[in-house]
Chain A
Amino acid sequence: DTEVTQTPKHLVMGMTNKKSLKCEQHMGHRAMYWYKQKAKKPPELMFVYSYEKLSINESVPSRFSPECPNSSLLNLHLHALQPEDSALYLCASSQGPNPQETQYFGPGTRLLVL
């Protein structure tokens, strides 16, 4: 089973709202990732968690706040977003953070900021 689930599938929020995206995997993976994908563009890495600790932050604005409460769960808290933050947010996981580990992606959350 290589399933990564993400909720919600779609999200519409105003610029003053606070919302959260959720990602879950039950494959025993110890590395989890957030990617942002704009329309007709490739995914871009935002954050990496290894063994529940933040290991990479790709200079993401502080209005995006990741959280990894346990090894199966990854959240992305959103606050005071801008319309240009509208995108598909993809979560991925891998067995470990090592380069040879394949990343498995979830179906994504389509976010629209009004």
Chain B
Amino acid sequence: AQTVTQSQPEMSVQEAETVTLSCTYDTSESDYYLFWYKQPPSRQMILVIRQEAYKQQNATENRFSVNFQKAAKSFSLKISDSQLGDAAMYFCAYRSGQGAQKLVFGQGTRLTINP
């Protein structure tokens, strides 16, 4: 079974600084998808960024980018120019490309932004 590990239960960063959240996963599959979701205190899970395993290029979405290292099974999220609205729980998630429809989530990293 696939597992996702987020080794940082909590992180904090100064506003306008850059922070990197780590995620590693364990799988024997070659075809899969990786996601970062944020969950602010409002509770709604919001997609931040996604990465297809077959793509070598790292995904970027405005201030958010990933460092996808397929051989190392690592999928870290970099947030540049951190803003107060970035404060949330961040979940890394894995989805198999072989028909399983479930998202496998890591335990989450709570990110605090210090003004």
Contacts and interface: CB of A to CB of B under 8 A. Distances in A.
A72 B94 CA distance: 26
B107 A41 contact: yes
A106 B45 CA distance: 7
Contacts of B33: 99-100
Contacts of A41: 107-108
Interface of A: 31, 33, 40-45, 48, 50, 55-56, 58, 88, 90, 92, 97, 99-100, 102-108, 110
B105 A56 contact: no
A105 B48 CA distance: 12
A104 B48 CA distance: 11
Interface of B: 31-33, 35, 37, 42-47, 50, 52, 91, 95-103, 105-108
Contact of A43 (B45, B46, B96): B45
B52 to A, nearest CB: 7
A103 B43 contact: no
B95 to A, nearest CB: 5
